[in-house]
Amino acid sequence: MSTPPPVLVVDFGAQYAQLIARRVREANVYSELVPHSMPVEQMLAREPAAIILSGGPSSVYEEGAPQVDPALFDAGVPVFGICYGFQAMARALGGEVAHTGLREFGGTPLNIADRPGVLLEGLPAEQSVWMSHGDSVSAAPPGFNVTAASPGAKVAAFENPEKRLAGVQFHPEVAHTPHGQEILRRFLADIAGVEPTWTNDEIIDEQVRAIREQVGDKQVICGLSGGVDSAVAAALVQRAVGDQLTCVFVDHGLLRAGEAEQVEQDYVAATGIKLKVVDAADRFLNALAGVTDPEQKRKIVGREFIRVFEQAAREVAAENDVEFLVQGTLYPDVVESGGGTGTANIKSHHNVGGLPEDLKFTLIEPLRTLFKDEVRAIGAALGLPAEIVQRHPFPGPGLSIRIIGEVTRDRLDVLRAADKIAREELTAAGLDREIWQVPVVLLADVRSVGVQGDGRTYGHPIVLRPVSSEDAMTADWSRLPYDVIARISTRITNEVPEVNRVVLDVTSKPPGTIEWE
């Protein structure tokens, strides 16, 4: 894929590395993450427009701490250091970093120096920034102006605009640094001289061009779920190769009420796309019989999806094998599956970590580096209707990972009924847009005693998990109005006989993930 010269974000193990890349894209500049282990020559071979060094947990003076190769600063590429990256930069260029004993975590006042330089000129002389450090730069490298200080960091920002180098101790990428985005934008525009041309239209044109080149005159299939990501991915591919694309919607028996009908009607009506619907419920439910382990469920679903796609591909093009499979994979699917830089496997998303080893398709995943809200913006720019673009996420493994315990048809029916009620009440209360999603979970192996109609019941609990989030990487539990929760609870316990208790999940992410499995 040919993209503009990237701004490379070098990941030193920061919590926020991908967030930095995303903020750069928000400044309309193309950006990608690379590991700190990548040799400088390789970074330079990418002809980056600029390089940003991320934060990280190490201390630069510790033995074995990741260092920055000083050759990076001689290459004439603009460099911006953040937190650990700032400290590593200071050290590589002849400044000093010390453990001063003055740690700063969270909102911290920043005082701008008399010579505020390019990055801070005209911004409030005192402003709040988000800090998270124990080490500090005690002396800036020769040739650099110190442009700000904080109580715990006498060198909190420095720059050398002639050499196009700058850095900050604080985190401009987080929302808690109010002027952070402006500071990042100034680095890109005024120090690095990068043009802000990476707009949604640009992304679309670039992806369409790349997909057309990759696919040529071959046939393509796309797993279409009715969700946002695959809808946007399919729309991009349709724009690129038109009716060489066939979408395949798999009814795996793990869907919510009304979902299959909705895909068949809404999506085809909105886009005119060629759609093949496969009823594969028996196949998935047989494969899942007796399985309770979440990772095993996810891997089974991942494998069965591919087997169904293979069969569908054979039917789409009898003699001319389908080589390409389009998936609406997003960046969070990749990181959580352990595909980031040194990141742990939290859960195998069926479309990444859950794929079988003998996968024969070449994957086309045009959204793989993006977050959901970026994808929504692209979907809107492609002209997809709001009902599709604003839809709540629903995981590919569907209700199988919302039944804690074995997945059976009866349990699926119970969960489907409860989920339908929760969704109806949320929509009736006008809360869909405020809420990220509301997984409804059945604790199938847990029972508790109830009393209904003067009789004893021994039923199952349903968990409501309403969350608010910007990008699914972090989330908070949503403070739904009590009367809405009460209506959902009353209706579920009245209308679903197997359920006699409704509980609310009040855990943020971290420590909980959004889905229970």
Ligand X SMILES: O=c1[nH]c(=O)c2[nH+]cn([C@@H]3O[C@H](COP(=O)(O)O)[C@@H](O)[C@H]3O)c2[nH]1
Ligand Y SMILES: Nc1ncnc2c1ncn2[C@@H]1O[C@H](COP(=O)(O)OP(=O)(O)OP(=O)(O)O)[C@@H](O)[C@H]1O
Ligand Z SMILES: NC(=O)CC[C@H](N)C(=O)O
> Catalytic residue numbers?
83, 171, 173
Q: Does position 304 bind ligand Y by CB under 6 A?
A: no
What distance in Å separates the CA atoms of residue 49 and residue 71, rounded to the nearest whole number? Answer: 16
Q: Which of 83, 129, 221, 330: binder of ligand Z (CB under 6 A)? A: 83
What letter would DSSP give residue 162? G
Question: Which of ligand Z, ligand Y, ligand X, none interacts with 437 (beta carbon under 5 to 8 A by kind)?
Answer: ligand X
Our CB check for ligand X shows the closer of 66 and 397 to be: 397
Q: Could you tell me if 398 and 404 are in contact, meaning their C-beta atoms sit under 8 angstroms apart?
A: no
Sign for the pseudo-dihedral over CA of 503, 506, 509, 510? negative
Q: Does position 507 bind ligand X by CB under 6 A?
A: no
Q: Which of 85, 152, 395, 459: binder of ligand X (CB under 6 A)? A: 395
Residue indicated by tokens 């990141």? 343
Q: Does position 36 bind ligand X by CB under 6 A?
A: no
Q: Could you tell me if 164 and 153 are in contact, meaning their C-beta atoms sit under 8 angstroms apart?
A: no
Element (H, E) at 84: helix 84-92
Q: Does position 400 bind ligand Y by CB under 6 A?
A: no
With the CA atoms of 68, 74, 75 and 76 taken in that order, what torsion angle do they form, in degrees rounded to the nearest 10? 120
Q: At what angle are helices 372-381 and 228-241 packed, to 10 degrees?
A: 40
Q: Could you tell me if 439 and 465 are in contact, meaning their C-beta atoms sit under 8 angstroms apart?
A: yes
Backbone angles phi, psi at 227, to 5 degrees: -80, 175
- Fill in the per-residue mask, 50 to 69: x = in contact with ligand Z (CB under 6 A), - = not in contact: -----xxxxx----------
Is 455 marked as a binding-site residue? no
Q: Which of 55, 253, 328, 379: binder of ligand Y (CB under 6 A)? A: 328
Two tokens, residue 212: 């057309």
Among candidates 196, 187, 189, 193, which has minimal Cα distance to 80? Answer: 187
Q: Does position 457 bind ligand Y by CB under 6 A?
A: no
Least distance CB 34 / ligand Z (angstroms): 17
Question: Which of Mg ion, ligand Y, ligand Z, none interacts with 228 (beta carbon under 5 to 8 A by kind)?
Answer: ligand Y
Residue ranges in 208-267 that form contacts with ligand Y under rule CB under 6 A:
223-225, 227-230, 248-250, 252
What distance in Å separates the CA atoms of residue 18 and residue 332, rounded to the nearest whole number? Answer: 10
Q: Could you tell me if 486 and 433 are in contact, meaning their C-beta atoms sit under 8 angstroms apart?
A: no
- The three-state secondary structure class of 34 is strand
Q: Does position 84 bind ligand Z by CB under 6 A?
A: yes
Residue ranges in 447-506 that form contacts with ligand X under rule CB under 6 A:
472
Our CB check for ligand Y shows the closer of 110 and 248 to be: 248
What distance in Å separates the CA atoms of residue 449 and residue 467, rounded to the nearest whole number? Answer: 28
Least distance CB 288 / ligand Y (angstroms): 15
Is 226 marked as a binding-site residue? yes
Choices 86-94, 220-228, 318-326, 456-464; region in contact with Mg ion by CB under 5 A: 220-228
Least distance CB 307 / ligand X (angstroms): 17
Q: Could you tell me if 412 and 254 are in contact, meaning their C-beta atoms sit under 8 angstroms apart?
A: yes
- Alpha-carbon distances, residue 86 vs 133, 371, 434, 508 (angstroms): 11, 26, 37, 31
Q: Does position 355 bind ligand Y by CB under 6 A?
A: no
Q: Does position 398 bind Mg ion by CB under 5 A?
A: no
Is 225 marked as a binding-site residue? yes
Q: Does position 312 bind ligand Y by CB under 6 A?
A: no
Q: Which of 23, 25, 252, 347: binder of ligand X (CB under 6 A)? A: 347
Q: Which residues sit at the interface with ligand X, rule CB under 6 A?
A: 298, 332-333, 336, 347, 349-351, 393, 395-397, 437, 472, 509, 513-515
Q: Which residues are annotated as a binding site for ATP?
A: 225-231
Q: Which residues bind ligand Z (CB under 6 A)?
A: 55-59, 83-84, 132-135
* Binding residue positions: 225-231
